[in-house]
Amino acid sequence: MVTDPRHKILKERLQSLTKEQLKRLLDYPEEMIMDEFNYVDGRFCPLAVAFDLPKLLEGQFLNNEVVRSKVEELGNLQMDNFQINPTKGIKGSFYTDNRKEDLLNLVCEILGE
């Protein structure tokens, strides 16, 4: 059993997503941006990918503010107490140095439950 508080928080967030959205994260062929931004130079954050924003916003002018706004809009519709960076300021080692690996392993864990 993992006791890292960052693991718990991220798992709760990911469990709010549908199986289709989780699978979208696993299948996404492009590089995701894994830090405090939601969009930079054609790269989307994991929530934007889960919400299928690369497809939904295709052909539109995109910057971090546009994508962040859409992530917040969809997040608030789907999740209780939604916040953009739920692990920010939380002590622990999970989802720090190996963000993509930690994220995808957690997605696989949830899908296997």
What average pLDDT is seen over the chain? 94
Determine the average pLDDT of the residues in 63-85. Answer: 93
Q: What's the rounded mean pLDDT across residues 81-85?
A: 86
Distances (CA, A) of 24 to 2, 61, 68, 89, 97: 25, 23, 19, 27, 23
Buried b (16+ CB within 10 A) or exposed e, 2-26: eebebbebbeebbeebeeebbebbe
List the chain domain ranges: 5-112
Under the banding of pLDDT at 50, 70 and 90, the label for residue 2 is confident
**H or E stretch at 40:** strand 39-40
- Rounded to an integer, the average pLDDT of 58-80 is 95
How many residues would you count in the chain? 113
pLDDT tens for each residue of 23-44: 999 999 999 999 889 999 999 9
pTM over 0.85: yes
